[in-house]
Structure 1
Amino acid sequence: MKVFAIRLKPQDDLRQSLKNFVKQEDIKAGFILSAIGSLEAAKIRFANQDVSTVLTGKFEIIALNGTIATTGVHLHIAISDREGKTIGGHLDDGCIIYTIAEIVIGASEKFTFNRTFDQQTGYQELEIIEQNSVVRSQNPELILYD
């Protein structure tokens, strides 16, 4: 596994910056290990909604999770406001850094992550391509190494 650490600056767009970094480093199967920082605007798509919501104000980044690759990113974010109220959902373009964002990214060299249309969900979903010999478990979502 490779590990990358990046620091985003004020006015950077969180999602766009991560997409650019993934392309720059040619990350085929990445994931967020750690993320903290602050936002001055957030654009989040809440569960089972078609449209994202724009939030203004100052927010702390509490969590950022998901997969990132040159083929696409799928990230969820949790943020808190000045009273500590926390909200989260699907990270969208338009989350603008206030002071900084410190992000640590892991990248697997054993997989490639693709996004392919899933007829059951109607969305582009994660497709895991194995690069080395593996043993599949009975659960198709779980991959075990030999």
Structure 2
Amino acid sequence: QSSLGSGSSLLVHVLRVGPGQELLTSLRSFVEEKRLRAPFIITCVGSVTKATLRLANATATNPNEVLHLSGRFEIVSLVGTLNPDAHVHVSLSDCEGHTVGGHALGDMEVFTTAEVVIGEATQLQLSREMNKRTGFPELVVQPRTD
């Protein structure tokens, strides 16, 4: 089953998250404060000192394939939707340039900065519904009604 939305205008927000702040919590707070209904990450640059990622081999019956990182990492990619059940993936590069990525579960403490550009599809609303086939909450796109 696909969930397709129609076209929408785009509103752009820019947020800087400072040292010591948890990145995903900060993004969720920003989305809630601005009452964004269809937010998504356009781009992000920055660094973190730790992160918790769910790896690609996780399944609904084995969701605990988790990696806890600690050290200094550059954010080389941060993508996803920021509706209440945010779905965000991150790629992080260490001091030797080795990169790891996965589903961002949290614990992403900002080291120096995280400069995030957030888009909002102003005529749409994003939500998630549990999908029996995958065992995960999956994206549902609907026209905004207010």
Quote the residue 1:108 is aligned against.
Answer: 121
Q: How many matched pairs? A: 131
| 1:67 paired residue among 81, 85, 93 | 81
Per-residue deviation at 1:48? 2.2
CA offset digits 1:46-77 (Å, max 9, x no partner): 112222211111000000001112x3210000
Quote the residue 1:23 is aligned against.
Answer: 32
CA–CA distance in structure 1, aligned partners of residues 127 and 40 of structure 2: 13
List gaps (5 residues or longer) in structure 1: 133-146
Q: What TM-score do the two structures reach when normalised by structure 2?
A: 0.86
| 1:33 paired residue among 14, 38, 42 | 42
Runs of 4+ more than 3 Å apart: none
List gaps (5 residues or longer) in structure 2: 1-9
Quote the residue 2:68 is aligned against.
Answer: 54
RMSD: 1.1
Q: What TM-score do the two structures reach when normalised by structure 1?
A: 0.86
Higher relative contact order structure (alpha carbons within 8 Å, sequence separation ≥ 6): 2
Quote the residue 1:3 is aligned against.
Answer: 12
Which letter maps to 2:111?
Y
